[in-house]
Chain A
């Protein structure tokens, strides 16, 4: 009989009694670790979301919940011209409604920043000093977005703005204007600014995917006589494709949350006559600016969540 068997024989009958004690110890430990964090998380993140979901079906006297009204808030908000302005959309006149503006951001900003991010990641991939180059492009993403909004106003200013100076230099002086305050073009000016900031983030994700590629793969393709175009499509693209999904979805989330940049350029109204208002701005106005309409604020904020939530869950499932 070995020592091992001795031990087993001794511990065998104590195991069952100990098992319960261990389980209790473990349960207490889990609770001690989890409860402080989960309490704050529940009170300040989960509960307010539930509150909004319930509140969107009630009528409100400023900040006090009154009685159940069914889909009233939903119908009122979704037909509000500030959210979707059908008649202006038909004439392609801004404002077209915050939801439309948000979707326009998605359609223009996301492909552009994804494509530029990949292009810059490839351009910097094997250069000396790539860390500095990448940091220069990425730096804008660490700057407070409210500063980005003010910088955009500065860049597009008719006298002090370098963009208008650039137009003058290339002989397009007739186009000079205060870009962020001209209703029909301002949204494009802001989207260009959004692309400028967000490309750094896309580039960062692509760069880390690119550096995971085995360089010998590319070397051997070179030896086999594959040109740059073939090397990209046959080797690099299949390997960075999964990252593209993440880049695109993070782009959509970032754009759907847009608030600071628009607020800096256009104030709580989202530009002259709401010309480039977004959903976040409409929530803020409905909830905290006079004519307070809590019900509408909750509906619009939930709308933002509904657009983004399936995408976030998709990322989670990819893991």
Chain B
């Protein structure tokens, strides 16, 4: 039951169940307990028939599994290609007989001459981790007044946030390019981190504000009566209570910053500073596309967000749905 609805895991079903449970678990008095164990209401034949899905249902399962597998075939291909020599990839990765297993592609991508993947992945971590942590902190701080207080220009700020969320990243590239040159931060980690923070704050503030609106105000009032300051309330009540939303923010923001291609392309120009997504398109050579190396590099780049997604899937999905649908 709990595996289903990402927003509201305990549905109407759960409510009905508790009522039934209550009735069922009413204790019997000693004299009410029968001498023999109860017999099954249904013989095994009927039960078996009920457990095995009907042919229509089996067909649904078959179609569903086929569709899901079909959906990841391109990724299976990429994965297979990353472990095989180029000659076998050209012949088709789907021929599995006589398959040669090699890590050569990974070594090659890791030491790729223009911009080694090892260094590129390290750069991506250097940019992504601060960009995520700072956005979380500043985001929840800014979201708190938006959820609780009235202040001048609130509506205007709200409108600006929505406008920025709709804007394509290309729109801020020109202004930021000149600004970073002005600040002397062009082609540095710090410059790219700041741009990611400024760009991500809009949706983070809006998302966290919606979440904070759902936290009952009575808790804070009680703390205020006990003499807690607004900062203490923020630290001891708001921050702990918004942890689930902050995890969602962290996962989604991490994926976005890690996957971002346009910002690094514009703002990171020295090959030593290239991020992983930036290196991948460079690997498509002119004469023969090095599929093995590209596949290995792609697998290494996508592994981080995909593993994060699989680990924190619930937070990711809940955040995605809440970010756009609430």
Chain A residues close to B by CB (< 8 Å)? 25-27, 29-30, 32-34, 36-38, 40-41, 43-52, 55, 63, 120, 123-124, 127, 130-133, 135-140, 142-147, 149-155, 157, 159-160, 162, 165, 196, 200-201, 204-205, 208-209, 211-212, 214-216, 243, 246, 250, 253, 256-257, 259-260, 263-264, 267, 279-280, 283-284, 287-288, 294, 297-298, 300-302, 304-305, 308-309, 311-313, 315-316, 319
Contacts and interface: CB of A to CB of B under 8 A. Distances in A.
Interface string B286-318: 000101001100100110011011100100110
B67 to A, nearest CB: 7
A155 B258 CA distance: 24
A253 B310 CA distance: 26
A157 B171 CA distance: 33
Contacts of B201: 37, 40-41, 45
Interface residues of B, number: 103
Given A135-B310, A150-B281, A208 B7 contact: yes
B64 A123 contact: yes
B160 interface: yes
B284 interface: yes
Contact of A204 (B13, B73, B280, B321): B321
B170 interface: yes
Contacts of A246: 324-325
Contact of B168 (A36, A162, A304): A304
Contacts of B324: 205, 246, 250, 315
Given A44-B197, A48-B174, A204-B317, A260 B168 contact: no
Nearest to B308: A142
22 contacts: A34-B142, A41-B201, A44-B194, A48-B174, A49-B171, A49-B175, A51-B178, A133-B68, A136-B72, A151-B78, A153-B289, A160-B93, A196-B74, A200-B71, A212-B7, A212-B11, A243-B325, A246-B324, A287-B174, A288-B173, A305-B168, A312-B166
B169 interface: yes
A123 B60 CA distance: 7
Nearest to A149: B281
Given A144-B305, A162-B74, A312-B162, A211 B197 contact: no
A206 to B, nearest CB: 10
Interface in B140-174: 141-142, 144-145, 149, 151, 157, 160-174
A127 B61 CA distance: 7
Main DSSP-derived SS at the B contact region:
helix
Interface of A is mostly: helix
A143 B302 contact: yes
Contacts of A120: 67
A140 B6 contact: no
Contact of A308 (B65, B69, B166, B301): B166
A308 B168 CA distance: 9
B230 interface: yes
Contacts of A298: 171, 174
A37 B139 contact: yes
A211 B81 CA distance: 38
B77 interface: yes
Given A154-B291, A211-B5, A243-B325, A45 B178 contact: no
B270 interface: no
A154 B261 contact: no
B238 to A, nearest CB: 10
Contacts of A144: 258-259, 261, 277, 301-302, 305
A151 B172 contact: no
A239 B58 CA distance: 27
A48 B160 contact: no
A301 B295 contact: no
B298 A49 contact: no
B168 A257 contact: yes
Nearest to A29: B230
Given A123-B64, A196-B74, A309-B167, 17 more contacts: A27-B151, A34-B142, A37-B139, A45-B201, A49-B171, A55-B175, A124-B64, A133-B68, A142-B305, A143-B306, A147-B277, A160-B291, A205-B325, A250-B324, A288-B177, A301-B173, A316-B162
A120 B90 CA distance: 33
| Leading 5 A-B pairs by shortest Cβ distance | A44-B198, A48-B175, A312-B166, A37-B142, A51-B175
B198 A45 contact: yes
A145 B259 contact: yes
Contacts of B169: 257, 259
B197 A40 contact: yes
A201 B320 CA distance: 9
